[in-house]
Each structure stands twice: as C-alpha cells, then as structure tokens.
Structure 1
Amino acid sequence: MQIDTEAIVCGVRGHGEHGTIVRMLSPDHGMVAAYVRGGRGRRVRPILIPGNTVSAQLRWRTENQLPQATVELVQSRAPILSEPLPSAGIDWVTSLVTAALPERQPYPRLYQAMGGLLDAIEAAPSAIGWSSALVRFEQLLVAEVGYARPETDFIEGQSPAGWSEILAALNRSSRQLFGELLTGRVEALQDSRSRLLDRLARAAR
C-alpha cells in the first residue's frame, strides 16, 4: 500500500541508530505513525520538526505494519521556534494533537484548523493575534473526538474582547482537556500547557 499526502509533523522520537518514528496529521488519513530512515541525519532532521508541513510518501505491506515514509519539506516553521511564545504555542498544539487523536481516523476539519492556527502563530505580530484561534481550535478538537460540548463559547469568526476573556477561556479549556480528554501519563503535556499559559499571562500584562 502507498499513500502520498501532505501532513503536519506532530511528534518525533528516535528509533534505532539513525531512524525516527514520526507522527503526522494528514487531511484524509488522520494521525499516521511512520518510520523515517535517516530521520536523525543532517538532511532529514530539520524537516522533521513538529509544526512543519511536509509532503510524505508512506508505504507498507500489511495494515498492521508500521509504514516507512520519505518526506520533503513544504513549509518550515523552525525560524519562529527561537521566540518563546510562538515556540510554546507550537509545542502545545502538536503535543495535544499527538496525545488526543487515534491512529488513522481522518479529521479533515481539524487538519485545516491546525494549519490555520500554525500559520497565525507564525504570522501574527503578537500573541493576542492567534490566542483566540487557539481557543477555537481546542473547542473544535473536543467536539471532533466526540466528547461533551466544549466549555468555551467562542463563535467561529469572532474575536474575544481581550486578554481577560482569552485567558479565562483557556483555563476552562484546560480543565476540560485534562479532565475528560487526556488520560494516562500526561505530565509532559501539563508542563507544556503550563509553560504556554504562563507566557500568555506575561504577554497580557
């Protein structure tokens, strides 16, 4: 079997001496894990940065086999990872999606929303320009995976009044995400969320 798809890199871990296992969110096949030969090498490692968009070719012989993938860079978001707030935003979003979504179940609306959010994080001159989009993305994720109605009440296309409303909505979203959606060992996710909220709170002062 073979799939050619665009995808957003969400999670990367080493496997073997030179390879990596990459989890990518694609529009038509959902979250897909694949082995990338040479993923820790000088040429491929910069491509496999969480938040980057890639063109991926996945091949496998049986449905239960881990696919092997080759990747080419479509859009790099590495330049903004040196900035503390955008870096925290991208780290949280990619970590959340990696933890929350099942394998190979398509979520095309979530894929489009994630791409739009990452573009906003990259392009907005300040965090207030993308933080409301983050709230709506979390709201969509909760709805897409079939849990209770999101606790936030942002309406698509409308911006909140300001920082106080944004931070209150993110705190409500945190309680729902960690109380209902995310289970098991979530210490790293909690650290990522706390880091993001702390930096947003400092930006709001």
Structure 2
Amino acid sequence: MEWRDQGAILSVRKHGETSAIVEVFTGMHGRHSGVVRGGISRKLTPVLQPGSQVEVTWRARLEDHLGTFVVEPVRSRTAAVMNDRLALSGLNAITAMLRFCLPEREPHAQVYAGSIQLLDMLGVSRDWVLAYLRWELMLLEEMGFALDLSRCAVTGSFDDLIYVSPRTGRAVSRAGAGDWADKLLPLPLCLLGQGGAETGELLQGLTTTGHFLNLLAQDLGNRPLPDARNRFIDLLARTERD
C-alpha cells in the first residue's frame, strides 16, 4: 500500500530510539499517522513541528497497519508564531481540536481547506482570532452540530438576533427571548459573519461554540475538550483585561 498527499502536522511523539510517530491532517486521507525513521534527528526535528505543511508518502504492507511516512517540507509556520504567545496558543488549539474531533483516516475536504487557511493566518493577519471562531462553527457543522443562526426560532424574525438556544442551536431574537433570556447563549454579530469583532465579542462567541463542542465531546465518549483550547481562551481573556 502506498499513497502521497500533503497536509499539516498535528502531533509528533518519540518512537523507539531514533524514530517518531507523526500525525498529519491531509487533504485526501484525513487524519493519518505513520512512523518517520530518524524523526528525532537534528535534520528532521525542525521539519516535524506541529502546524508545519509537509508532503508525505505513506507506505504499509496492509491498509490497517500504522505504516511509515517519508516527509518532505513544504512550509514551516514556526517562525510566524514563536514570538506571538497568542498565535502559538491558537496553533496548539487548532491542532488539538482537529485531533479531538476528526476520526482517523476519514477525509474532510472542507475542514482541511479551512484549517490550512487559518494556519496560514496565524501571526500574519490581525483577523485570525475571528477566523478561528468561524472555523469552530465549520467544525461543528462538519461533525453534525451545525448552528442555525438565520432566523429567530420563536418569532421567525430575521432581525435583532442576539441569543442562541443551548438546546437546539437556533438563533433567538431579543423579542423572542422573553423571560428566558438569562438561560440563552450569546450571539455576537461576529458569529453572524457581520464585520470584525472586539475581543469581548470573540470571547462571547467562543463561549457559545464551546457549549456545542462540549455536546459533541459527550458524543465522542464524554471526553473533556482539549486543554489547549482552554489555554488559548484564557490567554485571549487576559489580553482583554490587559
């Protein structure tokens, strides 16, 4: 068995004395692992960094074997984030969430394209945190937890949508919320795709997506969301306070 694809490295762990098991999110083969011979050498260690874009050739005797990777560098993203704590934290959150949500060896073309675009924004574009929030929306949709933010679930109105039902994931207007407003999740304009966002709005949006990601986590064996996501949000909140 053999195939060739391109993807972003999600994780690297030592295997034996000189090798590493590398997990890559590829365009056509999804989240896939393989052994890289000499993966902890001085030559390959700078290449095998989470977030780096690589060409991989996977080989195995049988399809269900772990197999081996031959890795060729395409683009490093390390330099863009190393001097930016928030961007580095965001990169760790992205790779951790992909490992957490996506089943192994199952292609997800839309998520792959969106993830590569987001990784390319880290440390480069000011809007990457907003892009991360919208990426979580896309991830939820791909996993079957899509939010319906198009109109009010109570009145049918398209206007003044400021809440999300924690049960149905549908938008609720100010008028439609009534006495239930304090039990609903926030719906900042940035979740509706309307313009940019201040940090406070982004945190509101991440609270809402986090609620539904936790519901997804229950479906995935009642596991907690990755600590990397929590650390990223905590760091973002500290930048708001500062």
TM surpasses 0.5: yes
Which whole-Å deviations, capped at 9, do the CAs of 1:50-87 have from their partners, x for residues lacking one? 11100111111111111200111111011122421111
- Written as runs of structure 1 = structure 2, the 5 A alignment for 1:67-86 is 67-79=67-79, 80-86=81-87
Q: Which residue of 2 is the match for residue 143 of structure 1?
A: 141
Partners of 1:2 and 1:59 in 2: CA distance: 4
The residue type equivalent to 1:166 in the other structure is: L
Any runs of at least 4 consecutive aligned residues in structure 1 with deviations exceeding 4 A, and if so which? Answer: 150-153, 182-185
Greater Cα offset, 53-62 or 139-148: 139-148
The answer to whether residue 191 in structure 2 is matched with residue 154 in structure 1 is yes
Q: Pick from 219, 229, 233: which aligns with 1:197?
A: 233
Identical columns (%) = 32
Q: Which blocks of at least 5 consecutive residues in structure 1 are unaligned? A: none
Larger RCO of the pair (alpha carbons < 8 Å, separation 6+): 1
The residue type equivalent to 1:75 in the other structure is: R
Partners of 2:6 and 2:132 in 1: CA distance: 22
Is the 8 Å Cα contact of residues 130 and 197 (structure 2) preserved in structure 1? no
Q: Which residue of 1 is the match for residue 22 of structure 2?
A: 22
Q: Pick from 197, 207, 210: which aligns with 1:171?
A: 207
Deviation at 1:180? 2.2
Q: Which residue of 2 is the match for residue 108 of structure 1?
A: 109
CA RMSD of aligned residues (A): 2.0
Partners of 1:104 and 1:61 in 2: CA distance: 16
The residue type equivalent to 2:26 in the other structure is: S
Which whole-Å deviations, capped at 9, do the CAs of 1:87-117 have from their partners, x for residues lacking one? 1000010011012111111111111100111
The secondary structure found in structure 1 opposite 2:56 is strand
Partners of 1:202 and 1:148 in 2: CA distance: 29
Question: TM-score, normalized by length of structure 2?
Answer: 0.76
The residue type equivalent to 2:216 in the other structure is: E
Which whole-Å deviations, capped at 9, do the CAs of 1:162-204 have from their partners, x for residues lacking one? 22221100111122212323545547x13x1222112212323
Is the 8 Å Cα contact of residues 34 and 67 (structure 2) preserved in structure 1? yes
Q: Which blocks of at least 5 consecutive residues in structure 2 are unaligned? A: 149-168, 170-186
- Give the total of aligned pairs: 199
